[in-house]
Structure 1
Amino acid sequence: MLKEKVCIVTGGAQGIGRCIVETFAAEGAKKVYACDMNIDAMADYKERFSTVEAVSLNVCDRDAISAFVEKVKAEDGKIDVLVNNAGITRDGLLDRMSEKDWDMVIDVNLKGVFNMTQFVSPIMIENGAGSIITMSSVVGTDGNIGQTNYAATKAGVIAMTKSWAKEFSRKGAQVRANCVAPGFIKTPMTADLPEKVIAYMESKTPLGHMGEAEDIAQGVLFLASDRARFITGQVLKVDGGLVI
């Protein structure tokens, strides 16, 4: 589905990001740049996939992003797919949330997406096509107790995505922008949750169980591929019916 496509995936070291990288490689992408600050966690990519390149990158470092994107452009001549997956949580009730925790989540989850897209999108527009997929969350559409900062960023990326869908295509370029909003998914971020919390969330999910990282990766793959060529400005919820 991704033959000859050059792809960038942020947050590619673990969890959903790692699954997306592996899925893109398996689906025949010409090149997949797996970007993450944890370069050691991506050491296996070189041995397992000839088309995957691990890149140490902080989505808050605009100079590093600029240099990286210019390198990709020089080497590959194009960027077909950008997956804005890098994200963090610093949960807490509003009256206990520190300014530091607010700022950190905003910087990574919201400004990081802005940074990556601002540098990559001109290349897509110049080439006349591209797909940008940003990881949102059902929390971004429906909120959640103790996640004021996280919910704000995930709602924010939806608004940015809808704006980009209109902006990037206004001169005829087939540059699409969409979001994927996961529900309750098995990842390293949820692995340490108490069993009673997991049981409660599963009981609230109509399909009755947590999702897998692969479920999200398949949604991202669809939006990245030409099969979704007439889809832009949308939010694809992959949540087992958690939010209907």
Structure 2
Amino acid sequence: MNRTTAYATTAGLALPAPHPAPAREACAERPAPVVRDLRGRAGHSPHALLFGPQDLVAVTGLPGSGKSTLMRRTVRGTRIDSQDTRDRWDRRVPRLLPYAVYRPLVRLAHYAGLRRALRSGAGVVVHDCGTQTWVRRWLAHEARRRGGTLHLLLLDVEAEQALEGQRERGRGVSKYAFLRHRAATTRLLRAAERGDLPPGCAAAVLLDRAAADTLRRIGFTG
């Protein structure tokens, strides 16, 4: 795994896409995924992550780990966050109406917005809850279609920190749902540490809370 020690104190880190194999080699051995581990640097990590103009970036981690906060603070370009969609609906519906009633409409609106963003051809940063693997497959397909790369940004945050994050925002998930998210996130992190990324994901960046807090920009070149 590439720990990018050469970039430990740089202001920014450009993330080139892995070179795609020629068509005649499509069934041959594929290049190994690029995994950059920025954890454990006590804040001495890049201030910016830059991706290719056709790339897609999926930000994943536990509920409450800070995905939405990180995206709002750092993304320069198009970001698609289901939390933003829910917040818009929350402002429009009666206060007494339970979220469970209009949740399907929120999800439909979120995925419709994601589809529009992907069809634009521009780089997009997407909130990935971690349990909807079909969304990751969709993103991988769209990245290949546009000639870009799907990158994962994995937030490695302790469960207690994530639960505290839920309490601070006044919104959480059930214990059962949190355990599902925790199991899925742990599997994904351990696989990434081995250099084994989900199908269609060619690169990943691993962040702890300090590395996430140090970031000032997530953007696209070109």
Fold in common (TM above 0.5): no
TM-score normalised by L of structure 2: 0.37
The structure, 1 or 2, with the larger RCO (C-alpha pairs under 8 Å, 6+ apart) is 2
Q: How high is the TM-score relative to the length of structure 1?
A: 0.35
